Amino acid sequence: MTEIKGGVCAPKGFSAGGIRCGIKPSSSKKDLALIYSDKLCDAAAMFTKNIVKAASVQLTQKNIEGEKLRAIIANSGNANACTGEAGMDAAKRMVQSIANESQIDTSEVAVASTGVIGVPLPIDLIEKNVSVLKNSLRSDEQGHLDALEAIMTTDIRKKEIAVEIEINGVPVRIGAMAKGSGMIHPDMAAANNSAKHATMLAFVTTDAAVEKSALNSSLRNAVERSFNCTTVDGDTSTNDTIIIMANGEAANAPIATGSADYEVFSNALEFVCVSLAKMMARDGEGATKLVTVTVSGAKSEKDARIIAKSVASSSLVKAACFGADANWGRVLCAMGYSGVEFLPENVNVSFKSEAGEITVCENGGSVSFSEEKAKEILSKEEIEILISMKEGSAAASVWGCDLTYDYVKINGDYRS
């Protein structure tokens, strides 16, 4: 597997574009994006489990039932959530407008929105600019970058990746973009499940030929180990959406579940999703650090993930990371209220970064360690909290960030 340029435009047969139609108050920021495939794609998606779902989520859940897509249209600056019937009408008109423009069926269009909740979507601005949007499509990296810029809200960093792998000697590509900085605590399920909401959007394209069931299971496994293992503020949004489109242009023999090809493809997709998830955590609102919590020696991967997410979500642990304070007691505390049963006396905790590694807790109790060294380790931009449990052999990692003054500042008055 090699990383390549181009994002969602890297795989054959995909183009993308992004423009400003005027949804965002800022006078210059792009706010309308389109990802387009020359031919009809097999598609799979997952959505927030939040009971309160944006109109765009509800409509895309319906359109994805056919498991076929040609286009994804997305806007930033407005979540089109909690906007009643008018919101659903706006989502439908958004889909209709690009379907008409492209002369494709509305069922082949997915729609996504992100931004403030509860404000009516100015659909007229979108309809007025949809042909400009269509004409902005490019199959090169710039098209990808324009679309990516158009889905960003409080994001500071661009979240994108593309890889090339070989399926039976045939080169196959996977490209992706994501947005997400706040209201990030994804808990996504397949379209047919009841679904939650946290504003992260991720769009993945591939020119691989993949059987529908394989595409679905591969996506679920990747999301379970990536986005669903990420937290910024514990708030699961109303708009979380991840969509993958596979157009088969690479002309490989269709990938079937359980095959060796499936493993290769699934590992690559997981790598892509994990990479984006880590970028999201690192770019968490106000974050100064990426905090990776890894639990090993757990009874099951699920237990490990629940414990790691509890620690990564703890306001006290996050604040201690910000202060580079080796307050390991808060780590054990957060493990203890995770809901997973375990023996505290089996727990070891150490902190790690490029500055080194230091054990701060052994067998659930204190060990003498150098506060200065711990502070040096925790002062780096990427830190790890390593927890070992002696309860079993399962492990999992969760990606989060520190809690800072800027998080409070950004969210104290988000709408103005």
Non-local CB neighbours of 250 within 8 Å, separated by 6+ positions: 11, 12, 167, 170, 171, 172, 173, 206, 207, 208, 209
Provide the strand spans (E) within 117-268.
159-167, 170-179, 188-190, 201-206, 241-246
Give yes or no for residue 411 binding its own copies (CB under 8 A). yes
Residue 92 beta carbon to its own copies: minimum distance, rounded to whole angstroms = 17
Question: Which 326-345 positions form the footprint of its own copies (CB under 8 A)?
Answer: 327-330, 332-337, 340-342, 344-345
Count the site residues for its own copies by CB under 8 A.
72
Phi, psi of 305 (to 5 degrees): -70, -40
Give yes or no for residue 393 binding its own copies (CB under 8 A). no
Residue 34 beta carbon to its own copies: minimum distance, rounded to whole angstroms = 26
Give yes or no for residue 315 binding its own copies (CB under 8 A). yes
Paired tokens of 65: 């039932």
Give yes or no for residue 412 binding its own copies (CB under 8 A). yes
CA distance 404 to 401: 9
Question: Which 352-371 positions form the footprint of its own copies (CB under 8 A)?
Answer: 361, 363-366
The answer to whether the beta carbons of residues 61 and 191 sit under 8 Å apart is: yes
Q: Which of 199, 288, 292, 294 is catalytic?
A: 199
Segment lying near its own copies (by CB under 8 A), choices 164-172, 204-212, 276-284, 408-416? 408-416
Among 31, 187, 270, 303, binds its own copies (CB under 8 A): 187
199: annotated active-site residue:
yes
Question: Which 220-249 positions form the footprint of its own copies (CB under 8 A)?
Answer: 233-238
Non-local CB neighbours of 168 within 8 Å, separated by 6+ positions: 252, 253, 261
Which string of DSSP letters, residue by residue, matches 366-380? Answer: E----HHHHHHHHTS
Give yes or no for residue 196 binding its own copies (CB under 8 A). yes
Paired tokens of 373: 């060294």
Residue 390 beta carbon to its own copies: minimum distance, rounded to whole angstroms = 15
Give yes or no for residue 116 binding its own copies (CB under 8 A). yes
Segment lying near its own copies (by CB under 8 A), choices 25-33, 179-187, 221-229, 381-389? 179-187
Give yes or no for residue 118 binding its own copies (CB under 8 A). yes
Helix boundaries (H) for 283-350: 301-313, 315-322, 328-336
Closest listed residue to residue 328, CA positions, set 373, 292, 281, 362: 362
Give yes or no for residue 404 binding its own copies (CB under 8 A). yes
Among 129, 181, 296, 314, binds its own copies (CB under 8 A): 314
**Catalytic amino acids?**
199
